[in-house]
Structure 1
Amino acid sequence: MKILLKVKHFTSHITPRLCSRFLSNAQRLYNPQNFSDYEDLKRNYKLDFPEHFNFASDILDKWTAAEKDGSKKPNPALWWINGEGKEVKWSFDELGFHSRKVANVLSDACDLKPGDRVMVILPRIPEWWLLSVACIRTGLIIIPGTTQFTAKDILHRLQKSEAKCIITSQELSPAIDSISNQAPLLKTKMTVTGTREGWLSYQDLYTAAGDNHTCVRTKSMDPMIIYFTSGTTGFPKMVEHSHCSYGLGHTITGKYWLDLSPCDVFWNVSDPGWAKSGWCSVFSPWIQGSCVFAHYMPRFDPIVVLETLSNYPITAFCGSTTTYRMLVLCDPSR
């Protein structure tokens, strides 16, 4: 009841457009578009896993084909803004084009082979999505990390994962240089922004790369992604996920829990370093052909979130309970 009272107070102070979207999304909780009987779904839902599966070729490239034959309505695959006027909008076809170029960078310039492990530590920038898809295309095992990591955090993960490559921004590269000699298996360092001695330049390599790339044929149970636990009860531990566990397993997340369709524009505010971002900023929405919306937003700001929800056609929004509490408690009347 307290929550309902706060929501009522909250909606009375926001713009009519945002209020309408807020109530419309609340209505979808009671009238979901993808199922009508939860008990029937629980009894009968079954997901088949083929012997071979790759999220890039079997999901993303099929949405590209649907765009080309007109069976998918024109809606971006990725819609990114930085809050300062810069914007990136890629269709699934464009996402495929760019990710194939990045796949060639990883295979050729970085000399990585299927099964090699790559640590990627980036903020919310489009390159994070491209590198994630490119690793899948090349059969590499991606290890996401948050930009909040210290040098000690990164060293622990490099040593335990035996990653051969690390990709990050120029801001974190000095910290990595300070510990990289303690990770003997680390052979390649690449910076996405700027240049640094001893580091490959992503921008230079991307510009020179071709877009002709054949996706690696991976088995459903081949490893695809590794996350580290938060380390609450000890040192962070590796948790490995296969191509099908995330690439197909999150079908139920995208279709039934998030209730998404190809017409939706979905915004998840999680940091790219956490598993939640994998669930809700890559696999679940793209399985459904939805648009992934992203705001660079280095730090969470409820006013920025409310302004963004008011100014962009976002149909579904996902955040932690703390996120919603901050939204409800702030005064958006200005």
Structure 2
Amino acid sequence: MELSTEAAAPARARETPAADATPVPPAPAAAPNTGALDRLQHAARANPAAFWAERAAAIDWLRPWDAALDASRAPFNRWFPGGQLNTCFNALDRHVLAGHGARTALIHDSAYDGRATRVSYAELLARTARFAGVLRDLGVGRGDRVVIYMPMVVEAVVAMLACARLGAVHSVVFGGFAAPELATRIDDCTPKAVVTASCGIEPGRVVEYKPLLDAALARARHAVPAVVVLQRPQCAAAMTPGRDHDWQALDARATPADCVPVEATDPLYILYTSGTTGQPKGIVRDNGGHAVALLWSVKAVYDIDPGDVFWAASDIGWQVGHSYITYGPLLAGATALLYEGKPVGTPDAGAFWRVLREHRVKVLLTAPTAIRAIRREDPDGALLRGLDLPDFRALFLAGERSDADTLRWAETHLRVPVVDHWWQTETGWPIAADPLGIERLPVKHGSPTRAVPGWDIHALDADGREVAPGETGLLAVRLPLPPGAATTIWNADERFERAYFRDLPGWYKTGDAGCIDADGYIFVMSRVDDVINVAGHRLSTGAIEEVLAAHPDVAECAVIGMADALKGQVPVGFVVLKKGVARAHAAVAAEVVAAVRDRIGPVAAFRQALVVERLPKTRSGKILRATMAGIADGKEVAVPATIEDAGVLEEIRVATRALVAG
């Protein structure tokens, strides 16, 4: 789940990873050519405009588009220019008008108070139209920006859809985000209003949002005219007269707002990428291309039909939450699940399975980190024994590389297809997946399967030449990017072009290194940043992590490159043990070191593995490897704004200092 996949910005590639540095995964029997996926992929590559024009017919347009694709200013391609639509209308109004108002649109499940709320399409439409009226009365109109700083509550989705209804541009910043970083986002997108809540709930504590927001507003250069506050029962927020407004009071007297027609090329939202420091990087998504791609992907990739329950276990502040909590399922007339809780600790490692059973979830999309956390607490799957999940059909993993051991654990205990798929904040929807709604393909552990139609993926060397099948290169997408991909960075067109397109003209540089085998299966080995140079040999830290993760006592792991006077860099592994493992840490470390030597060879120079209690992660579940590497090298490292628990960094600092001293 960068999901996320909430992926960090692709880094500038200085060299191409050596072909012999990463072992090519074993090749099971070739995928059978049943034809459906191949036909769609060929059609999308041969004539992208015609392919997506056909899929655009599933969207309700207020005015037809002039052309499916305008590629005259590549890489700033424009999908469906001239067309007009409203994304909120397509997500809500059209389903109600078609007679489906009684269908459940949204389920909110809170692990903290044990309550679940079901909201029908008709009710969600009424609440959204009313809150759009609130924003309109505060002066928000088409093209204005609104920052949404909310916990995982129904009102957060209402606020997003209300912005879309007015043609306003929302920028969701996950609740609890630190004040300085929130201030930079406010200054970057200059919102006319901020929508927030008095607090969010975390295991064992209440996080007050309003003091954080007040500090951000005091720090920001941009003066926000209006703040709307949802007062939650867990705490009451202090209000600033003249600026702050009570959600319930405004909502009670609001007149519902109608949908505002917008151009297909108008921005729908700005989403700042995780891990951003310094100048924010706001990914911009348009209205038309986004609606077309998201609607198509919900069926093609996830096999979700109208009325099915789709649970993206993410936060609305991340890309997964935007695409597959708020927009994708609702565009498709399905039911989206909004969960306020954690995979473990609310109350135990069976929390996810309770939600699957009680709400008859068909597909769960989450990060591998969530499954690893569950597996660590319940390694034998005891909490799944005898559990009947008749509606559950598939588990999708995204956001980080899914190690084969975690995949096998999930397959064994869930007894459904477990699909590792690959996408990024910048792409907005999956680039590679086993597309269950098109054709189910044989599994190759370690691969997110093949390119989804619309994404023309290749492995290239540093000069843009395609490498041989199985050889490691830079994973890149041939232009034009399909609908739904980022159109630019907010207020930074030149930065957008420089970051993603300039190094490889004609291609989108994903920033990931990997290979593509003879069957077209993609293996994403690591970020380009995570390819380390050991005595002149370029090694993928992801390949070493695969070996560590396969150890029966290891719940999760991370490998970084640490500076070394002799070799330039040496790999160091950090492993977290499964719950209940009481073996000596030194014995486990020796075994994983031996396994790397056996599987990859002495060239890896892997001699150090440290057992730690936790790994530092973002709230979306990404392990902060670059931060860990900086700490290991003794650098002054700023605490990332997106970190889940900054206290974990001290453990890494102590462990690496002891390593250097020894």
The residue number in structure 1 matching 2:89 is 57
Equivalent position amino acid for 2:382 in 1: S
Any idea what the Cα deviations from partners look like across 1:40-76, whole Å, max 9, x if unmatched?
22223522353101111234211112235xxx9x641
Residues 317 and 114 of structure 1, relative CA distance in 2, 3 Å threshold: same
Residues 180 and 148 of structure 1, relative CA distance in 2, 3 Å threshold: closer
Any idea what the Cα deviations from partners look like across 1:183-209, whole Å, max 9, x if unmatched?
333111111124532211011111222
Is 2:138 the partner of 1:138? no
Between 243-252 and 130-139, report the one with greater CA deviation.
243-252
1:253 equivalent among 297, 305, 309: 297
The residue number in structure 2 matching 1:319 is 366
Counterpart CA distance in 2 for 1:167 and 1:215 is 20
**Kept in 2: contact 1:255–1:284 (CA 8 A):** no
3-state SS, counterpart of residue 179 of structure 1: helix
The residue number in structure 2 matching 1:230 is 274
**Deviation for aligned residue 1:285:** 1.2
Counterpart CA distance in 1 for 2:211 and 2:382 is 43
Counterpart CA distance in 2 for 1:159 and 1:268 is 30
**Kept in 2: contact 1:54–1:136 (CA 8 A):** yes
Is 2:156 the partner of 1:128? yes
The residue number in structure 1 matching 2:251 is 206
1:186 equivalent among 221, 224, 231: 224
Q: Within 5 Å, which residues of 2 pair with 1:71-82?
A: 75-82=103-110
Residues 127 and 253 of structure 1, relative CA distance in 2, 3 Å threshold: same
Higher relative contact order (CA 8 A, sep 6+): 1
The residue number in structure 2 matching 1:111 is 139
Q: Within 5 Å, which residues of 2 pair with 1:161-200?
A: 161-170=189-198, 171-181=208-218, 182-193=220-231, 194-198=236-240, 199-200=244-245
Residues 146 and 65 of structure 1, relative CA distance in 2, 3 Å threshold: same
Is 2:133 the partner of 1:100? no
Counterpart CA distance in 2 for 1:286 and 1:195 is 32
**Kept in 2: contact 1:64–1:93 (CA 8 A):** yes
Counterpart CA distance in 2 for 1:226 and 1:36 is 38
3-state SS, counterpart of residue 262 of structure 2: coil
2:179 equivalent among 151, 155, 158: 151
Any idea what the Cα deviations from partners look like across 1:263-297, whole Å, max 9, x if unmatched?
31111111111111111112221222110012211
Structure 2: give runs of 5+ residues left out of the alignment: 1-30, 45-50, 57-64, 66-82, 199-207, 384-662
Between 231-240 and 165-174, report the one with greater CA deviation.
231-240
**Kept in 2: contact 1:195–1:201 (CA 8 A):** no
**Kept in 2: contact 1:102–1:206 (CA 8 A):** yes
**Deviation for aligned residue 1:36:** 7.7
Equivalent position amino acid for 2:239 in 1: E
Between 304-313 and 150-159, report the one with greater CA deviation.
304-313
3-state SS, counterpart of residue 250 of structure 1: helix
**Kept in 2: contact 1:230–1:236 (CA 8 A):** no
Counterpart CA distance in 1 for 2:89 and 2:134 is 18
Residues 220 and 78 of structure 1, relative CA distance in 2, 3 Å threshold: same
**Deviation for aligned residue 1:330:** 3.4
Counterpart CA distance in 2 for 1:233 and 1:105 is 33
Which TM-score applies when normalising by structure 1? 0.81
Counterpart CA distance in 1 for 2:117 and 2:370 is 25
**Deviation for aligned residue 1:176:** 2.0
**Kept in 2: contact 1:67–1:93 (CA 8 A):** no
Counterpart CA distance in 1 for 2:136 and 2:185 is 22
Q: Within 5 Å, which residues of 2 pair with 1:225-304?
A: 225-231=269-275, 235-297=279-341, 299-301=342-344, 302-304=349-351
The residue number in structure 1 matching 2:260 is 216
**Kept in 2: contact 1:267–1:294 (CA 8 A):** yes
3-state SS, counterpart of residue 118 of structure 2: strand
Is 2:382 the partner of 1:333? yes
**Kept in 2: contact 1:143–1:226 (CA 8 A):** yes
Which TM-score applies when normalising by structure 2? 0.42
Number of residue pairs the alignment of both structures matches: 294
Residues 284 and 36 of structure 1, relative CA distance in 2, 3 Å threshold: farther
Between 191-200 and 122-131, report the one with greater CA deviation.
191-200
Q: Which is higher, the Rg of structure 1 or of structure 2?
A: 2
Residues 196 and 324 of structure 1, relative CA distance in 2, 3 Å threshold: same
**Kept in 2: contact 1:180–1:186 (CA 8 A):** yes
Between 255-264 and 305-314, report the one with greater CA deviation.
305-314
**Structure with greater helix percent:** 1
Structure 1: give runs of 5+ residues left out of the alignment: 1-29
Is 2:334 the partner of 1:305? no
**Kept in 1: contact 2:86–2:287 (CA 8 A):** yes
3-state SS, counterpart of residue 210 of structure 1: coil
Equivalent position amino acid for 1:246 in 2: H
